[in-house]
Structure 1
Amino acid sequence: MNGTGEGRGMAADGPEAREFVAALVRAGAPSADGPAALAVPEAEAEEVIAVARRLALRVVPEGRWWPRPATALLDMATALVVDEHPSAPQWSAAERQRLTGWVAVLIEHRGEDGVQELLRALGGG
């Protein structure tokens, strides 16, 4: 992409965009202050974890008994979903970590579609 914003660019849900976000997270890009970015109702961590777990287990390939997403996907799940949930500040570190793992599995196997399915299941439209 050139300085004017013209050029090939990258798809917002493509692998280049996901890697770009993961690189920002790894670099320690600061979070912006303001309201949570996810338009979902507030909820207890256990409720959100249960929904994410149910959806993630549906997409794990047969024979894979325990999902282990890549570290970059964990970072992305944290930055784009877990940290942006409106109830996240009230959750414990352990709860946030458990949710991150399940969201990363959704991202690994379903990409943006998995995240959107999670948001719909949580009441976000």
Structure 2
Amino acid sequence: MAFAGLRDPADLVRPAALETVFTRRERLRSKAGTALESWAGRLAAKRAVVGALGYDSPPGPLTEVEILPRPSPACRRSHECAHGHPPAVTLAGTLATRAARARSIQVSVSHTSDIAVAIALVTWVKDGG
């Protein structure tokens, strides 16, 4: 996800609106003032999850994939924890149905000052247990 030369999170998703790509909780977490690479990393992670679930393009709005930090037990009292945490994936809609037999979905995100990348791994439940 290249974002060199972009200035605003909306530029990452044009012509779509931010509300059709990022959930309300994601928008609050990445509120104005957060570095553009955080927004780009979250978008790269959403696309990686879609691909790991076997889709070439999202079957519905990207808000069906929510990428937020998974806080440690020490930080659970506050949604504004200042420490970095691994991303957690929450699915809705068609993607949640597709992932119903997934044991876990893990995502890793990295970025530089002008590009963000992500990889997602889906571990499926084997038949019979």
TM-score range, shorter chain: under 0.3
Greater strand proportion: 2
Please report the TM-score for the alignment, with normalisation by the length of structure 2: 0.27
Which structure: greater helix fraction?
Answer: 1
Normalised to the residue count of structure 1, the TM-score between the two structures is 0.27
